[in-house]
Structure 1
Amino acid sequence: MTTLPNVVADALDRVAPRLRLLREQRGMSLSELSALTDVSKSTLSRLETGQRRPSLELLLPLSQVYRVPLDELVGAPPTGDPRIRLRPRLVNGRVVVPLTQHSGGQHAWKIVIPAQASVPDPKAHDGYEWLYVLSGRLRLVLGDRDLELGTGEVAEFDTGEPHWFGSTGSEPAEVLSLFGPHGERAHTRADVAQQ
């Protein structure tokens, strides 16, 4: 059984690479971060290399600048709360909200695609995707097919086939996406009563 001091030490050891990754994702230099947090550049560097143990006094200003909760900053273990903390991100001009938090298997996202003219750029990769249009209209380019889906319509496809999707029309498209990395398909079950 892992003792509490070992759990704490392990968590603290994982803070350094997380801090570096957050700074790099935001395209900030140590000097810029130092100016925003009033923490010296050398202290920030030592935090990111694991040469200095993080303290609340150092982590709070970083949490504020990065706009992430402190427990995410330090990688606190889950508390048993089954609710998923929705943390939208902007990816290629789209708002992507992860709806699952586990690292393997199928993943679910809500994607909001702005109403703007986009030139399709189909890509292929391993996996299988299922799309459900929550609102708006979605253009799906799949291989040599060019399809338009409306609210309530569904598409599923092998992502090994070149594909691209975007909004069409004058309003954003909101899409629910389920993706399985190794060809895993979504299975739905419905209890249909005989009429």
Structure 2
Amino acid sequence: MRNDSRMAEQPPSAFSDDPAVVGRRIRALREERGISLSALARRAGIGKATLSGLETGVRNPTLETLYAVTGQLGVPLAALLGPQAAGQPQTDAPVVVHGAAVEATLLEVFDDPDATYELYRIRVRAGATQVSPAHPAGVTEHLTVFRGEVTAGPVDASLRASAGGYLRWAADTPHTYAAGADDVEAALLIRTPRR
């Protein structure tokens, strides 16, 4: 374990994967698309220093920041996380990402000719709210609630479901997740069409 004072000052990582590995994946995707660091930072609405820190693995992004970056790169979040991103077999340790209210465990990534599907087990913390940035055009989210009551969907037209309920929305606008008095346990399927 490194004894680095900078590491002690940083907040916990938004994900359980190695920040340096995720940073290299971000840089490779950005360069593959011919986008400069400045242009991607501007499009994603984050500081250039923040994006540079992400790419070098010295900054711990929030889930919201990761979604802002992947949205501008036109890839699903799973393109940055775990063995799936590197085209390697699934390991026993699933990747977990954390946001302001949501903890999501990546269970599986499915690819077909038309779309990529990411399946997550999520927990929305009681009394917490999270706003996720818009995903690329055509992305849809499908939420099946197992426990608790959740408000989710587009910020200006959120939906509500309780245990046994199902919600679906176009995720190409900012969208929210909020739990009531109890934690919410749910499955989230994100469908990202191929470009």
Q: Shorter-chain TM-score category?
A: 0.3 to 0.5
Question: TM-score, normalised on structure 1?
Answer: 0.47
Q: Which has the larger radius of gyration?
A: 1
Question: TM-score, normalised on structure 2?
Answer: 0.47
**Larger strand proportion, structure 1 or 2?**
2
